[in-house]
A and B are shown apart, each in its own frame.
Chain A
Amino acid sequence: MKIKEIYETMSYGPAPESAEEAIQFLDNHKRKFNLFINGKWVAPSSKEYFDSINPSTKEKLAQISEANEADVNKAVAAAKRALPEWANVGGHQRARYLYALARQIQKHSRLFAVLESLDNGKPIRETRDIDIPIVIRHFYHHAGWAQLRDTELKDYKELGVIGQIIPWNFPLMMLAWKIAPAIAMGNTIVLKPAESTSLTALLFAEICEQIGLPNGVVNIITGHGKTGATLVEHKDVNKIAFTGSTEVGKIIRRATAGTGKKLSLELGGKSPFIVFEDADLDSVVEGIVDAIWFNQGQVCCAGSRLLVQESIAEKLYKKIRTRMESLRIGNALDKSIDIGAIVDKSQLKVITDLVQLGVDEGSTLCQPSWACPKEGYFYPPTMFTDVSPSATIAQEEIFGPVLVAMSFRTHKEAVKLANNTRYGLACSVWTELRTSI
């Protein structure tokens, strides 16, 4: 584009982050990843591989191993073998390993950020400024706890082998939240990333290899739900940590009941976002952008239910509609976008179907006038107004960039509506007067 033309239109140009280093990483593995068990890369017993897709372009990034029961057994056995020494090595030694992990992730932070955006479809701005910096801080933080373990947490003891199953919405961040505290306290790990976003976990495995983490302390196995189920049912696993859908959480709860396994579940949400009439509405609008359009709304604690005081409801809706027009959607590696791609085809269908249901049930749909790019799995920012609490879209978690809005009359009613849900994950309240709350 000529400078003269840009001078007149004052448009934003493309601002792509380079994928070169990430592509190099994929090529180094010949675009085919094995399982990371006992500190080695081993081919899956199943001999089966599945594709990892870039949702911004629908292009294939690499082939990922499908771990079967034999692989899970191998990984759990490796973790069990590594356990006594890892527990006995002491907090100080473990702290050194955690520091080394933090430093190496920090050193390769751009590679992690780009790989995450390629694999997941989330904007590079978010992986670069949010996901990866939080991951790094997590490892540093838990290095500190490992150091303090022997003096400040004397009465605590490691649980043993921990099976960790993580979701696709914040792949590396979820890995960090699960792995860092667990290994800090002397546990050993078998982790299964989500099938659609395994790549940064595999890069993390490579980092574990590089820093010389003792074999078997961290094992990364990839695969679908069946792999996860096998891990959950394994008798030598002492604890299951799961983040993901409520539905799968329930299955895991049933599977572990009565087995003596410890369990932590982090599941869905339909969190209220309450706006009182005295709030700074322009600021509220930006709060909404971050609450429901951050990470394409694929956030467990997304502020997905907007509850707004009746006196200002129309005014706020109008501001939101205007704001939706100026949101930019596109390839995850573009540094000037607000919204990236939905993680995969199946999730895009879930969102599309639920939005259709919302329309069928009589709620008013609002989407921006612009069209999404055709080449990837994109879904536009969406708002429903005139939603009643009984509507399916007001009850079910959509896990997409879809806001459902309803008004309230009084403070009491706001609280009642906010609590009118099976979920209870998060809540935000917008008011400039503390007397409102």
Chain B
Amino acid sequence: MKVNTMKSNKNSTQQLLRNDGIPFDASLFEEININRSAVERRASTLSGRRSVKKQWQAAWLLKAISCIDLTTLAGDDTPSNVQRLCAKAKSPVRLDILEAMGMQDENIHVGAVCVYHNFIKEAVKGLQGSSIPVAAVSTGFPAGNIPLKERIRQIEISVTAGAKEIDIVVSRDLIIQSDWKTLYNEVAACRKACGDAHMKTILATGEISTYTKVAKASWVSMMAGSDFIKTSTGKEPVNATLPVSLVMIRTIREYYELTGYKVGFKPAGGISKAKQAVNWLVLIKEELGNDWLTPDLFRFGASSLLGDIERQLEHFVTGRYSAAFRHPMA
């Protein structure tokens, strides 16, 4: 299978070919060996190699907003705070700021709203009239240690409730024990249960000890038909990092070169500053190319990132930093 290298940005309007997965083939990833120090060096020097300033920074930050999965996954969620989140998702930036940038007609909104199953209906209602999908975390999020049958059932009821995107967690024990075939079967079963809903597979990389295993788990998840692979639940002690993201997106590139399927990437957890968001966009642009800089193929899982971006955008427009209370809360 030979595929063109990605260079142009032109075909981003084309319908994305959905990853249907490929048959399990351990030979495709068995020999992976990730060089930890080289990966960490690349990740740590990348932000010094590119500088995005002025109107470029403003435009990139707006792009970052369009890629946010605006998330609330708290024990005390209620319909009212989910409603507020949806309202914020539809108009993430104050109108006067958008007008000052000439972006008021561009329909800037976040990539999705991400909630627990119990609030899907509320979120669907809150997002009526917009094209923003509701994403639900599923399969026993965040630990996933419930029977597979129950996990499948969760996906099905979430899809029925109106979730267009399902964020699943994988069985970390299978990764730790290198039981790749079982992992493949589980993820493939989840994908089947998702139907038309897009599936993001969370590896929980903070609980995987080596980059080599992260890469192998990424391969298995993509082979089993994941639409996105995602770093973390946000509940592990270590969440999204640039090095672990680098390892994952390099497997996305290899998988694309092999199959022609573009799999998306979602770092989640601990991304709360505009500067971090730019660093991630640089990483994606450098390693995967412009094609991936779209909400179809890239998302941030974040709750407080938007607030910092709003303050940066106001600074771009006015030259001054404002207090957080000057931006409408979610």
Which chain A positions have C-beta within 8 A of B101?
3
Chain A residue at minimum C-beta to C-beta distance from B62? A7
B34-42, B216-224, B264-272: which lies at the interface: B34-42
A25-33, A257-265, A282-290, A300-308: which lies at the interface: A282-290
Which chain B positions have C-beta within 8 A of A4?
59, 102-103, 106
CB A273 to nearest CB in B, in angstroms, measures 13
A6 touches B31 (CB 8 A): no
CB B127 to nearest CB in A, in angstroms, measures 22
Chain A residue at minimum C-beta to C-beta distance from B247? A282
| Of the residues B33, B35, B62, contact of A3 by C-beta under 8 Å | B62
Contact A10 B5, CB 8 Å, known A15-B53, A280-B34, A283-B38: no
Interface residues in B6-52 by Cβ distance below 8 A to A read 7, 9, 31-35, 38-39, 41-42, 48-52
Residues of A within 8 A of B (CB): 1-4, 6-13, 15, 125, 129, 278-280, 282-284, 286-287, 322, 325-326, 335-336, 338, 430, 432-433
B38 touches A10 (CB 8 A): no
Which chain A positions have C-beta within 8 A of B34?
280, 283
Whether a CB of chain A sits under 8 angstroms from the CB of B136 is no
B250 touches A13 (CB 8 A): no
CB A122 to nearest CB in B, in angstroms, measures 14
Contact A6 B60, CB 8 Å, known A13-B52, A15-B53: yes
CB B317 to nearest CB in A, in angstroms, measures 10
Chain A residue at minimum C-beta to C-beta distance from B281? A10
CB B115 to nearest CB in A, in angstroms, measures 28
A13 touches B106 (CB 8 A): no
B173-181, B228-236, B285-293: which lies at the interface: B285-293
CB A11 to nearest CB in B, in angstroms, measures 7
A13 touches B53 (CB 8 A): yes
CB A5 to nearest CB in B, in angstroms, measures 8
Whether a CB of chain A sits under 8 angstroms from the CB of B263 is no
CB B80 to nearest CB in A, in angstroms, measures 33
- Separation of A325 and B62 alpha carbons in the complex (Å): 27
Contact A13 B42, CB 8 Å, known A4-B106, A326-B286: no
Chain B residue at minimum C-beta to C-beta distance from A283? B38
A325 touches B285 (CB 8 A): no
Whether a CB of chain A sits under 8 angstroms from the CB of B56 is yes
B35 touches A432 (CB 8 A): yes
| Of the residues A11, A125, A278, A280, contact of B48 by C-beta under 8 Å | A125
Whether a CB of chain A sits under 8 angstroms from the CB of B63 is yes
| Of the residues A3, A325, A336, contact of B55 by C-beta under 8 Å | A3
- Separation of A125 and B50 alpha carbons in the complex (Å): 9
Q: Taking each of A3, A7, A287, A335, which has the highest tally of chain B beta carbons within 10 Å of its own beta carbon?
A: A3
CB A31 to nearest CB in B, in angstroms, measures 29
Whether a CB of chain A sits under 8 angstroms from the CB of B58 is yes
Which chain A positions have C-beta within 8 A of B5?
322
A336 touches B35 (CB 8 A): no
B35 touches A279 (CB 8 A): yes
Residues of B within 8 A of A (CB): 5, 7, 9, 31-35, 38-39, 41-42, 48-56, 58-60, 62-63, 101-103, 106, 250, 281, 285-286, 289-290, 293
A1 touches B48 (CB 8 A): no
- Separation of A3 and B98 alpha carbons in the complex (Å): 10
Contacts A/B (CB < 8 Å), 8 sampled:
A3-B102, A4-B102, A7-B103, A12-B56, A15-B51, A284-B38, A325-B7, A335-B51
CB A187 to nearest CB in B, in angstroms, measures 36
CB B316 to nearest CB in A, in angstroms, measures 9
Chain A residue at minimum C-beta to C-beta distance from B249? A282
- Separation of A208 and B90 alpha carbons in the complex (Å): 61
Which chain A positions have C-beta within 8 A of B49?
125, 336, 338
- Separation of A421 and B33 alpha carbons in the complex (Å): 31
Contact A1 B55, CB 8 Å, known A7-B103, A279-B33, A432-B33: yes
CB A286 to nearest CB in B, in angstroms, measures 5
B39 touches A283 (CB 8 A): yes
- Separation of A335 and B49 alpha carbons in the complex (Å): 7
- Separation of A286 and B283 alpha carbons in the complex (Å): 13
Chain B residue at minimum C-beta to C-beta distance from A280? B35
Given A6-B55, A336-B50, 16 more A-B residue pairs with CB atoms under 8 Å apart are A1-B56, A3-B55, A3-B59, A3-B101, A3-B102, A7-B59, A7-B106, A10-B285, A13-B54, A280-B32, A280-B34, A280-B39, A283-B35, A326-B286, A336-B51, A432-B35
Which chain A positions have C-beta within 8 A of B293?
10
- Separation of A287 and B63 alpha carbons in the complex (Å): 31
CB A48 to nearest CB in B, in angstroms, measures 41
Which chain A positions have C-beta within 8 A of B38?
280, 283-284, 286-287
- Separation of A397 and B111 alpha carbons in the complex (Å): 52
A7 touches B33 (CB 8 A): no
- Separation of A129 and B295 alpha carbons in the complex (Å): 34
CB A127 to nearest CB in B, in angstroms, measures 12
CB B252 to nearest CB in A, in angstroms, measures 12
- Separation of A287 and B285 alpha carbons in the complex (Å): 19
CB A287 to nearest CB in B, in angstroms, measures 6
Which chain A positions have C-beta within 8 A of B35?
279-280, 283, 430, 432
CB B240 to nearest CB in A, in angstroms, measures 19
A7 touches B286 (CB 8 A): no
B55 touches A10 (CB 8 A): no
The 10 closest A-B pairs by CB, nearest first: A283-B38, A6-B59, A432-B33, A13-B56, A15-B51, A335-B51, A280-B35, A283-B35, A7-B59, A3-B59
| Of the residues B7, B42, B48, B56, contact of A6 by C-beta under 8 Å | B56
| Of the residues A2, A9, A286, contact of B42 by C-beta under 8 Å | A286
Which chain B positions have C-beta within 8 A of A286?
38, 41-42
Chain A residue at minimum C-beta to C-beta distance from B31? A278
Which chain A positions have C-beta within 8 A of B39?
280, 283
